[in-house]
Chains A and B, each alone.
Chain A
Amino acid sequence: MAQSILGSSPVFKAECPKSSASTSTISGSKLKYSGIEQSQLGFLNSSKSNLALRLKASREGVGLIQETKVDTPNLIKKSKDGTDSFTEMKQRFLRFKKEKYLENLECYQELAEAQAPKFLVISCADSRVCPSYILGFQPGEAFVVRNIANLVPPFENGPCETNAALEFSVNALEVQNILVTGHSCCGGIRALMSMEDEENSSSFIKNWVTVGKSARSRTKATTSNLSFDQQCKHCEKESINHSLLNLLTYPWVEERVAKGLLSLHGGYYNFVDCTYEKWTLDYKRTNGNQEKGGYIIKNREFWQ
Chain B
Amino acid sequence: MSATAAAFTPAFTTLSHRKTSSSSSTTVSTCVARLSNTSSSSPTPSTPSLIRNQPVFAAPTPIITPTWREDMANESYEEAITALKKLLSEKEELAPVAAAKIDQITAELQTPNSKPAFDPVERIKTGFAKFKTEKYITNPTLYDELSKGQSPKFMVFACSDSRVCPSHVLDFQPGEAFVVRNVANMVPPFDKVKYAGVGAAVEYAVLHLKVEQIVVIGHSRCGGIKGLMTFPDEGPHSTDFIEDWVKVALPAKSKVKAEHSSTSLDDQCVTCEKEAVNVSLANLLTYPFVRDGLVKKTLALKGGHYDFVNGTFELWGLDFGLSPATSA
B109 surroundings in chain A (CB, below 8 A): none
**Given A139-B168, A301-B14, A161-B197 contact (CB < 8 Å):** yes
Q: Which parts of B197-220 form the interface with A (CB within 8 Å)? A: 197-205, 208, 210, 212-213, 215, 220
Q: Cβ of A136 < 8 Å from any Cβ of B?
A: yes
Whether B319 and A55, one on each chain, are in contact in the complex, defined by CB atoms closer than 8 angstroms, is yes
Chain A, interface size: which category?
35 or more
A78 CA to B300 CA, complexed, in Å = 13
Q: Is A231 among interface residues, defined by CB-CB distance under 8 A?
A: no
Q: Is the CB of A142 within 8 A of B162?
A: yes
Does B178 reach chain A (CB closer than 8 Å)?
A: yes
Chain A residues with CB below 8 A from B208, complex form: 187
Are A73 and B171 in contact, CB atoms less than 8 angstroms apart?
A: yes
CB of A31 within 8 A of CB of B278, answer yes
Is there a chain A Cβ closer than 8 Å to B10's Cβ?
yes
Stretch in A218-226, A240-248, A272-280 with 4+ CB within 8 Å of B: A272-280
Chain A nearest CB from B39 CB (Å) reads 48
CA distance A136 to B226 in the complex (A): 29
Specify which of B120, B210, B320, B327 is in contact with A55 (CB 8 Å cutoff): B320
Q: In the complex, A101→B180 CA distance in Å? A: 23
At the interface, yes or no: B50 with Cβ under 8 Å from chain A? no
Is residue B32 contacting chain A, with contact meaning CB distance below 8 A? no
Q: Which single residue of chain A is at the shortest CB-CB distance from B319?
A: A56
Q: B residues within 8 A CB of A93?
A: 169-170, 313
B315 & A62 in contact (Cβ 8 Å cutoff): yes
Q: Which of A54-111 contact B (CB under 8 A)?
A: 54-64, 73, 75-79, 82, 85-86, 89-90, 92-93, 95-97, 100-102, 108, 111
Closest to B149 in A: A185
* B131–A134 CB distance below 8 A: yes
Known contacts A89-B315, A168-B223; A303 and B129 CB within 8 A of each other: yes
Contact across chains for A125 and B12 when beta carbons are under 8 A apart: no
Our pick among B15, B150, B173, B221 for the contact of A75 (Cβ within 8 Å) is: B173
Q: Measured between alpha carbons, how far is A14 from B308 in the docked complex, in Å?
A: 12
Contact present for B242 and A62 (CB under 8 Å): no
Contact yes or no, A8 B221, CB < 8 A: yes
Q: Which residues of the partner chain A approach B10 to less than 8 Å between Cβ atoms?
A: 301-303
User: Interface digits, A33-55 against B, CB 8 Å rule (1 contact, 0 not)?
Assistant: 10001001101101011111111
Find out whether the CB atom of B241 lies under 8 angstroms from the CB atom of A160. yes
Interface positions of A (Cβ within 8 A of B): 1-2, 5-8, 10-12, 14, 16-19, 22-23, 25-27, 29, 31, 33, 37, 40-41, 43-44, 46, 48-64, 73, 75-79, 82, 85-86, 89-90, 92-93, 95-97, 100-102, 108, 111-112, 115, 117-119, 125-130, 132-148, 159-169, 171-172, 176-177, 179, 184-185, 187-188, 203-205, 207-209, 263, 265, 267, 271-274, 276, 278, 280, 299-304
Which residues does B use to contact A, with CB under 8 Å?
Answer: 1-2, 8-12, 14-15, 118, 120-121, 123-132, 135-136, 142-143, 146-147, 150-154, 160-165, 167-183, 186, 188, 192-205, 208, 210, 212-213, 215, 220-221, 223-224, 226-227, 230-231, 238-242, 244-246, 255, 259-260, 263, 265-267, 270-271, 274-275, 278, 281-282, 285-286, 288, 291-292, 297-298, 300, 302-303, 307-323, 325-328
| Known interface pairs A57-B303, A115-B161, A137-B162; 5 further A-B residue pairs with C-beta atoms within 8 A, sorted by A's residue number | A6-B223, A112-B221, A125-B180, A133-B174, A168-B242
| 11 residue pairs bridging A and B, Cβ less than 8 Å apart | A10-B266, A49-B325, A60-B317, A76-B154, A78-B212, A85-B153, A132-B168, A135-B127, A160-B197, A171-B239, A271-B146
